[in-house]
Amino acid sequence: MRRRTPTTSLALALVATLATASLAGTASAAPAPALAPAPAPAVAALAAPDVSLSNIQAHLTQFSSIASSNGGNRRSGSAGYTASVNYVKSRLQAAGYTISEQYCTTCTYPGNNLIAEWPKGPSDQVVMFGAHLDGVAAGPGINDNASGSSVLLENALVLAAQNPTMTKRVRFAWWNGEEQGLQGSKHYVNQLSSTQRGYIKGYYNFDMVGSPNGGYFINRITSATAAPLKAYWDSLGISPEENTEGQGRSDDYSFANVGIQTSGYAAGASYTKSSAQAAKWGGTAGAAYDGCYHRSCDNSSNINTTIVNRAADGVAYAIWQLAVGGGTPSNDFSVSVSPTSGSVARGGSTTATLSTATTAGSAQTVALSAGGAPSGVSVSFSPSSVTSGGSATMTVTASASATTGTFTLTVTGTGSATRTASYTLTVTGGSGGCTGGQLIGNSSFESGTTPWTASSGVITNSSSQAARTGSYKAWLNGYGTSRTDTLSQPVTLPAGCASYTFSFWLHIDTAETTGSIAYDKLTVQVGSTTLATYSNLNKAAGYTQRTFNLAGYAGQTVTLKWTGVEDSSLQTSFVVDDVTLQVG
């Protein structure tokens, strides 16, 4: 969640007034009709799938690992943010979502919003669920806001796996630049036409839904839009409260300002839990909801799993109430895997326990299968089917020539419905499989151009830009005219190593004066995957080391590539030196 600045604090009364006016319907921003769900049902009628907490925790682990591999954070514009986008995108693409990435040029740190739409239901009747994907530079941002991002990701995967009949279109969004002022969501709503805004019948926001000393808060709790979220938490006897701390501070505000009805869950940030709240929700009175808010300790230990679980199931309930026809089967079940990840060497095997539970009605036969295994890896179950409530042993076996790397297996139970769980598998080389060392040839550019491929003049000893070491470096752009420069080198990563660290030193010098617009950009890729994008906004004195984990490419030959694109005026120089790819 965005930190409240002094200016924001002084303007709170005006913000609240503007938001209320917008939601009431002004001449400039007439609101879309509010959703009108059925009255709050009894607990037994909450016919929505149980969202797996273990799967959500697996996503949180992935975001934590991404931060650890990319300088300790997932701030917008950073390699950690780019890797976060790629992780979410890959899972959604595999599930069948229609994906679009929207580049926010007006963001302080330009980067992509990720939009995923389930391609079922009427396209002019949209229910939208969003969370900001970025964190702050101070830490990995696990509660703020990998928690909301993970809850939405797992709900999206559950919806795809169940593939129910849809009465409305469901759209998910992960936002860039929330921490710099809700910039990604503002960019998104500003580019919508009035007709497209009218299609969105409700926007639901999820920001910090796992605060360790958290509470149960709902945005605009008395509104019709909030009704399904409140109905689910009411059914658990939680007694939620209005999210006063979050007013105007997260991405729902961007939608409210253009007349779209909003709600959402939150668990609290730096505000203090009262004695009355501690009495009904537990936790510590007089302490912040999240004592690690915007700090380095906002890591994987900074999560209240009970609140996360209840938020995730409440999201599922809202989706089913608002957009799904026909409900769920009268007999239903869930699937989980323990542990949620494992490693196997070529020629070896590993096991995990698949468990099922009857979640509604009577027990039923559930057939077990798995997908997503790489070449040379097989997955079997003993027994191959169970009665819900039972368990089976999952065995993963890798051949001597299995593809190495890290992969996500989708474990599926098929009965009256289809239920899934995720298992992260790492395949390593067999004994003696790793040949370590530094893999980049001519890494400091001091030995001519071989084995580099570069645009004319990129590899140079010009004194106008200093090398970090020696005399030569790769200098992309810097002309002040429209120009594209490239630099690349193919490299083969051996299988079976414990680490694959790619790094280079980058100096960015620019004559651009803007503090908000990325006119000139440098994109870093491995194969077709973008690792990071830098721009004139990242200018700094001297060189900065940029580091990435390429373990996912073990056993492959890939091309490392830098592409600099400069506009027609005011130069930006991207200077690269001392490139290494160290494996071992």
Q: Which residues are catalytic?
A: 178
Give residues with Cβ within 8 angstroms of 133, minimum separation 6: 74, 81, 84, 85, 88, 114, 145, 149, 174, 175, 176
Structure-block tokens of residue 328: 């769920």
Compute the chain's Rg from CA coordinates.
25
Coil, helix or strand at residue 273: coil
Say which residues have a Cβ less than 8 Å from residue 20's Cβ, sequence separation at least 6.
none
Instruction: Match 């909450």 to its residue by tokens.
Output: 46
Tokens 């939405």: give the residue.
Answer: 152
Neighbours of 567 (CB within 10 A): 18
Question: H or E segment at 548?
Answer: strand 544-549
Which residue is it, tokens 């009857």? 358
What is the crossing angle of helices 305-323 and 53-69, to 10°? 110
Collapsing DSSP states into helix, strand and coil, what is residue 513? coil
- Give strand pairing partners of 385: 367
The residue behind tokens 């009355």 is 276
CA gap 4, 12 in Å, rounded:
10
Helix (H, G, I), strand (E, B) or coil at 214: coil
Q: Which residue has the tokens 């931060």?
A: 67
**Contact (CB, 8 A) for 439 and 503:** no
User: How many residues in the chain?
Assistant: 584
The three-state DSSP-derived secondary structure of 300-359 is CCCCCHHHHHHHHHHHHHHHHHHHEECCCCCCEEEEEEECCEEEEECCCEEEEEEEEEEE
376 CB-contact burial (10 Å; exposed 0-12 / middle 13-18 / buried 19+): middle
CA 540 to chain centre: 28
Contacts of 233 (CB under 8 A, 6+ apart): 216, 218, 240, 310, 314
Q: Could you give the C-alpha distances from 458 to 14, 226, 453, 569, in angstroms and in order?
A: 53, 56, 10, 19
Return the structure tokens found at 237. 């006897």
H-run or E-run covering 94: helix 79-95
Maximal C-alpha separation, the chain:
78
169-175 and 126-132: which strand pairing?
A: parallel
Distance, CA of 209 to CA of 232 (rounded, Å): 15
